[in-house]
Amino acid sequence: MKTLLIIDVQNDFMPGGSLPVAEGDTIVPVINAMQPKFDLVVATQDWHPQDHISFASNHEGKSVFEEIELHGKSQTLWPDHCVQGTKGAEFHPDLDTTQWEAIFRKGTDKAIDSYSGFYDNGYLKSTGLAGYLREKGVSQLYLCGLAADICVYFSTYDAFKEGFACFFVEDASQALDQEVYKELRKEMEYLGIQMISSKDIQ
């Protein structure tokens, strides 16, 4: 079953949002156009409590984008974003959600961040996404969304480790940091993840 996983296409990651990805809104029509080509469409939604540990505002004396150590790992401190129940956490208003069968929320535990749609950053808790996809009989997984160098990358990496054949749809994704993305792209190609355009999808 050919499946599309749409990652975090939410208002706060759009131009004018609290954690904007440059030209993040340009991927919305691309995602809308390719959805009918898939048997199954699912999505992830960043869904943080206000007191989330990744927010710089919850660390006195710390600045946005500063790095701290958390659970033995490096943690970037972000501006408040995708707070549960806020406009910023909603999907882009032009994004077609009518074909979606499920939405998997992540980043819900205030004590740990969760870039991947499959696990938190410490691999302490699963979102249940891998099990859901297996039960649906998914073998090929196409991934896209925001941001290409963070949540889409980590979701793709985990999907690959879970044994899915992964296709990264580049024109339906945008990176927060283009230089970081260039390096991650090389890594994904090395692993055997297919880097494709939406036009390549039959």
Nearest to 99, CA basis, from 201, 196, 4, 2: 4
User: Could you tell me where the DSSP H helices lie in the chain?
Assistant: 27-34, 129-135, 151-161, 178-191
Give CA torsion, residues 98, 41, 173, 201, to 10 deg: -110
Is position 106 annotated as part of the catalytic site?
yes
Judged on CB neighbours under 10 Å (0-12, 13-18, 19+), 177 is middle
Query: Is 177:183 a contact under the CB 8 Å cutoff?
Result: no
Would residue 8 show up in a list of annotated catalytic residues for this protein? yes
Q: Check if 151 is active-site.
A: yes
Q: Which of 8, 46, 120, 158 is catalytic?
A: 8
Of the listed 25, 46, 80, 106, which one is catalytic? 106
Name the catalytic one among 46, 120, 144, 151: 151
Tokens of 47: 């869904």
Q: Catalytic amino acids?
A: 8, 106, 151
